[in-house]
Structure 1
């Protein structure tokens, strides 16, 4: 039975009134790698958890992709792995539409003993960056676009994932049919249920497209003038896609580059800025780009080299950066140009925005958005110059100023001072330490390629 003895918050009471048959509550959060973790509580503890919070070890925000703790910057074993108070984030108590039993879910956020936000939590990193923009009387409007793959639950030889069999044709697609309607029709049951599940959670989705590889899709989320809510919705969206896909017998993955010969999956962000009167400061009127838009572009481009460690958070992430496949590999911007890092899409001045196209779909949305907003803030306050807009294909050669290997990206982040002003030097130190430890662990395994290449070597 639900806990109704504890005094319920208005949100919790309203949820129980709407969903009285709920069987359990998932208290969830994304770690620094974007992996969703949490605890499941019986409804007998619903009131206590939603009203008083729960205890969580603070080190959970410093786990590697496989959930291993490496004690980065002394967070874990060295400090005794202390708990922090975790509170339910207001407005995130939602149903789990794809669950076999009626279920609830909610995001949690950690607090220090004095009630201040826990500084090593990605959500609070974004919060800190938003506060700096708020001090300029600016409010971001944000929308995320995410690409993902649907895979067959059965693996090909060697454990390699393979495209699913189309329910429409009974065949396994092998070629690229970008914007192909047959692919959407073939997987309409899972796609439509993803949309319905999002709607049940208050997440508004837009266009759905079949992308550049068999089994690859993109679903757009609507613009929100609450950047934190947009990032929260991104987390719930990813969980929804995976949950609904499992229900239909597929595996959904936001892995950045599952196949070397096929397109990777990106996380694109559309960002504009409103002033205190609700006007878009990127609107240049008769000019295609306002001065503040140019300053914002310049700031993001300036911070890109150090931001790469967040935009591409693991070894596979960097495999996505390949020339001539519409994945940006140079620091540049342009109008209606999909080869640039920062694209200015079509639209009138009031809709003028930046499309940030660099991050992989496996990136943590809070940290990814925080890097972009930090760059925008830096550009506005320092009047950064982005240079002239690029024309034609800019994706033919790598930018020597961008690090395209994991350790180079981490080294660049360690050397920088810009993002430290937004993320905090201590957080950057811990993040770099965690990711270096993850790389060490990854490189400790002997791959099949090593046997193929070196077993016969003299």
Structure 2
């Protein structure tokens, strides 16, 4: 199936489903089983074709610790889980609807998304995908279904660093010259990299990832690719992960580096992950629409909840030290909890459009964040606001990104402390996940701080 529309992904993929895939796509040489860790990194195990059937009949045993590796791929024995407890395996199973070809591979490959369970058969709540599923269920329990779409900003970079070891803009294949212009929405900038962008689009179609338009952004080599709205938010998270993964893979194939780092360049714009979200009731009606241009009370309550939970969830939206370099006044990046209509300077934007399409665009997260956790935090805020009928105050007009909000922790250790101490985050994410996430990211930060940077040698040697 290559029409970007695949079945929902909530049950187990069966051997029959795998055989149907082979009948449609031909035999394969390898099957990749895909696991997504805390950092949003795609990990897994590759099986030769003669062993692929066992994935669907027996599942795959993998260590639960792979879900809380730090960004370097290391388990730091978080809360005694690792070498202290023998790093035990748990059973994982393939997710229905997620068997897809890998069109950029040098051999005939397929991949399938995996999900892990505890020994008693319940979902492992250390898996980010399961965390998102649990938050979606909280909305379902009050008769609501969220709809979401993700937008990724990223840089296409030269695969080679400059003489000082820093990233550099790519050489345009059409001109042979290094990119220097900041031509936001420029068509010429798209033309030069059309071969790469076309292959990304084709790979997304082959994998059922509903990618939409591509635009040139505010810096040389920076682009944005959007995903279409989906009423299965867990599936939207799957697609966000796979889109980021396939963009990176195809960029490497074209001898470029695709970077979703939040702030690769000091003097250029950062990379964001913007999320558009609306909510339907049991009859499929958009609860943010009351027929007016302003939207309903529940739209405002949802925004109020997003405002209230933003400081507690900041460690999810900005998960590493570099993430916080993206935030600053007058950069079209949120620096406070303002909201408004058709205003890109606010944190929570209500875009123009018909009342029936009324939604909120959450503009805080960096492109380096884990989409499952970002979606979970956004839905937690929406649920919290609706249930508690939180008033967001008046919408902002004009430039709303001049003054930094002192209530928001724009420093990783402070954000992790706020997350760990948050009763609201524990209500939605569970005590175990909050503690494991905060501990993993704090140890990652400590590891970074122990390294001596080149700037220290330049300044202090």
* TM-score, L = length of structure 1: 0.96
The answer (yes or no) to whether the contact 2:35–2:42 under 8 Å persists in 1 is yes
Distance 1:304 1:37 in 2: 29
Distance 1:443 1:398 in 2: 25
2:72 match: secondary structure? coil
Superposition pairs of residues 144-163 of structure 1, within 5 angstroms: 144-163=150-169
Distance 1:342 1:266 in 2: 14
What does residue 269 of structure 1 align with?
275
What does residue 31 of structure 2 align with?
25
Give the CA deviation at 1:286.
Answer: 2.2
Give the CA deviation at 1:80.
Answer: 1.7
What does residue 386 of structure 1 align with?
392
Give the CA deviation at 1:126.
Answer: 0.2
Distance 2:196 2:27 in 1: 25
Which of 189, 192, 202 aligns to 2:208? It is 202
The answer (yes or no) to whether the contact 1:97–1:197 under 8 Å persists in 2 is yes
What does residue 332 of structure 1 align with?
338
Which of 6, 12, 17 aligns to 1:11? It is 17
Superposed CA offset, 1:20-59 (max 9, x none) = 2311011112211111111111111111112221001001
The answer (yes or no) to whether the contact 2:157–2:168 under 8 Å persists in 1 is yes
2:235 match: secondary structure? helix
Mean CA deviation greater in 210-219 or 280-289: 280-289
What does residue 5 of structure 2 align with?
none
What does residue 142 of structure 1 align with?
148
What does residue 305 of structure 1 align with?
311
What does residue 172 of structure 1 align with?
178
Which of 447, 452, 460 aligns to 1:454? It is 460
What does residue 91 of structure 2 align with?
85
Which of 98, 113, 116 aligns to 1:110? It is 116
The answer (yes or no) to whether the contact 2:14–2:96 under 8 Å persists in 1 is no
Give the CA deviation at 1:287.
Answer: 4.8
Which of 74, 80, 90 aligns to 1:74? It is 80
The answer (yes or no) to whether the contact 1:345–1:355 under 8 Å persists in 2 is yes
What does residue 3 of structure 1 align with?
none
1:74 match: secondary structure? coil
Which of 54, 61, 82 aligns to 1:55? It is 61
Superposed CA offset, 1:201-251 (max 9, x none) = 112221210001111100111001110111101111111101111111111
Give the CA deviation at 1:314.
Answer: 0.6
Give the CA deviation at 1:275.
Answer: 0.6
* TM-score, L = length of structure 2: 0.96
Distance 2:440 2:294 in 1: 42
Give the CA deviation at 1:162.
Answer: 0.9
Query: Unpaired segments of 5 or more residues in structure 1?
Result: 1-6
Give the CA deviation at 1:183.
Answer: 0.8
Which of 131, 135, 140 aligns to 1:129? It is 135
The answer (yes or no) to whether the contact 1:62–1:75 under 8 Å persists in 2 is no
Query: Unpaired segments of 5 or more residues in structure 2?
Result: 1-12
The answer (yes or no) to whether the contact 1:87–1:108 under 8 Å persists in 2 is yes
Give the CA deviation at 1:8.
Answer: 5.7
What does residue 3 of structure 2 align with?
none
Distance 1:398 1:445 in 2: 30
Give the CA deviation at 1:453.
Answer: 2.2
Give the CA deviation at 1:452.
Answer: 2.2
The answer (yes or no) to whether the contact 1:145–1:268 under 8 Å persists in 2 is yes
Give the CA deviation at 1:288.
Answer: 0.9
What does residue 107 of structure 2 align with?
101
Which of 398, 416, 424 aligns to 1:418? It is 424
The answer (yes or no) to whether the contact 1:59–1:81 under 8 Å persists in 2 is yes
Superposition pairs of residues 228-247 of structure 1, within 5 angstroms: 228-247=234-253
Indicate whether 1:397 and 2:390 are aligned: no
Indicate whether 1:37 and 2:37 are aligned: no
Distance 2:212 2:65 in 1: 36
Give the CA deviation at 1:258.
Answer: 0.5
Which of 245, 257, 260 aligns to 2:263? It is 257
Distance 1:16 1:348 in 2: 43
Superposed CA offset, 1:353-374 (max 9, x none) = 0100000001000000000000
1:388 match: secondary structure? coil
Superposed CA offset, 1:140-160 (max 9, x none) = 111000011111112101221
Mean CA deviation greater in 145-154 or 8-17: 8-17
What does residue 442 of structure 1 align with?
448
Mean CA deviation greater in 287-296 or 325-334: 287-296
What does residue 347 of structure 2 align with?
341
Distance 1:132 1:445 in 2: 42
The answer (yes or no) to whether the contact 1:8–1:51 under 8 Å persists in 2 is yes
The answer (yes or no) to whether the contact 1:126–1:369 under 8 Å persists in 2 is yes
Give the CA deviation at 1:19.
Answer: 2.3
Which of 319, 322, 327 aligns to 1:321? It is 327
